Amino acid sequence: MTNILIFIWQLPQNMLGLILFGLFRHDARTADYRGIRVMRSPKMKGGISLGYYVIVSRHASETTVLHEWGHTRQSLMLGWLYFLIIGIPSFGWATSRTLFPALKKRNYYSFYTEKWADRLAGIKRKQKLKRNDDRKIGT
In the complex with Zn ion, which residue's Cβ is closer, 36 or 117? 117
- Phi, psi (rounded to 5 degrees) for 63: -65, -40
Q: Is 136 exposed, middle or buried (0-12, 13-18, 19+ CB in 10 A)?
A: middle
Number of H helices, E strands in the chain: 6, 4
37 vs 136, beta carbon nearer Zn ion: 136
At its nearest, how many Å lie between Zn ion and the CB of residue 6? 21
CB of residue 71 vs Zn ion: minimum separation in angstroms? 6
Instruction: Indicate whether 118 belongs to the interface with Zn ion (CB under 5 A).
Output: no
Closest CA relative to residue 89, chosen from 68, 114, 118: 114
Report the C-alpha gap between 66 and 45 in whole angstroms.
16
According to the binding rule CB under 5 A, does residue 114 interact with Zn ion? yes
Min dist. Cβ of residue 90 to Zn ion (A): 6
- Binders of Zn ion: how many residues, by CB under 5 A? 2
- Chain residues binding Zn ion by CB under 5 A are 114, 117
